[in-house]
Amino acid sequence: MFHLALRQTEGLIGSIIRLLGLDLPVPDHTTLSRRGETLEVPRPRSGRGAEPVHLLVDSTGLKLCGAGEWLIEKHGTKTRCAWRNLHIGLNAETGEIVAADLTTNDVDDASQVGSLLGQVAGPFASFTGDGAYDQDGVYRAVADHHSEAAVIVPPRATAAPSATAASEPTQRDRHLQGIAEKGRIGWQKMSGYNKRSRVEATIGRYKQVIGDGLRSRKDQRRTTKVGVSVHVLNRMLELGRPDSVRVG
């Protein structure tokens, strides 16, 4: 959250421990780096209570920051950027990130749906994503986890109804019918697709608070960093949310 490198983090923690008057050793930055490969990060929670989760999904790119970045800034040279994709699943009701995956930039968004759904411990009521998730595999993955869950994904502009649309319409067929009757804007309001803006706002919050780069050189350490970051954002949200109690 403070955007510090490991060497700077070592000094910060050492200063805090001295201010607290504690006699505790501080791991050096190389130890912190190695621990990034084996550290068990708490998985995101599925939300409060046993209410079914309305899952909002999206992905974004995180650039890989190398040790030579300052040379690029100093000499004005340009190099080809490398990226990793961050896939997240958000609980629409609580705003908490309940699923997260870090993959290479050549991985299709829809291929990660099964992994994200597998991280949701409890039942879920709906799955909402953008047009990149308009694939048969996504509908099957959602049905495998919960047969009654709604899939709210906008069909492509060139989408055609299935062969059984007249007799046994699928969810996608019903989306096409709703778009034909009310237009895309009307369908978005009717289906609740507009809630997807919440996951876009969460990605913006991730990049604003945590940053849009990954400094570690190994993917396992990068995955650990993302897991810690998700845990921090959820904790900040929990501390900032008031506890509302109904009176009367």
Predicted pLDDT of residue 49: 56
Distance CA 5, CA 80 (A): 23
Q: Six-digit token pair at 114?
A: 């099964």
Contacts of 72 (CB under 8 A, 6+ apart): 78, 79
Average pLDDT per 10 consecutive residues for the chain, totaling 248 residues: 86 94 91 86 65 93 71 56 90 93 93 93 90 94 92 93 92 95 95 95 95 86 92 91 79
**247 CB-near residues (< 8 Å, 6+ apart):** none
DSSP, res 44 = P
Whole-number pLDDT of residue 242: 76
- How many residues are present in the chain? 248
Closest residue by Cα to residue 200 from 38, 59, 79, 94: 59
Residue boundaries of the structural domains of the chain: 1-35, 45-240
Distance CA 3, CA 127 (A): 33
Query: How many Å apart are CA 100 and CA 97, to the nearest integer?
Result: 7
Q: Which residue has the tokens 């997260």?
A: 100
**The whole model's pTM is what?**
0.85
pLDDT for 91: 94
Distance CA 99, CA 147 (A): 20
The CA-based diameter of the chain, rounded to the nearest angstrom, is: 74
DSSP state letters, 95-161 = --EEEEEEEETTS-GGGGHHHHHHT--S-EEEEE--GGG-SHHHHHHHHHH-TT-EEE-PPPTT---
Yes or no: say if 198 and 95 are a contact pair by the CB < 8 Å rule. Answer: yes
Give residue 112's pLDDT.
95
* Alpha carbon distances (Å) from 127 to 13, 25, 105, 142, 174: 41, 46, 23, 7, 15
CA angle 102, 103, 107 (to 5 degrees): 140
> How far is the CA of 217 from the CAs of 36, 73, 222, 231, 247, in angstroms?
11, 20, 8, 21, 53
Question: Tell me, what's the pLDDT at 34?
Answer: 87
* Bridge partners for 87 per DSSP: 59, 101
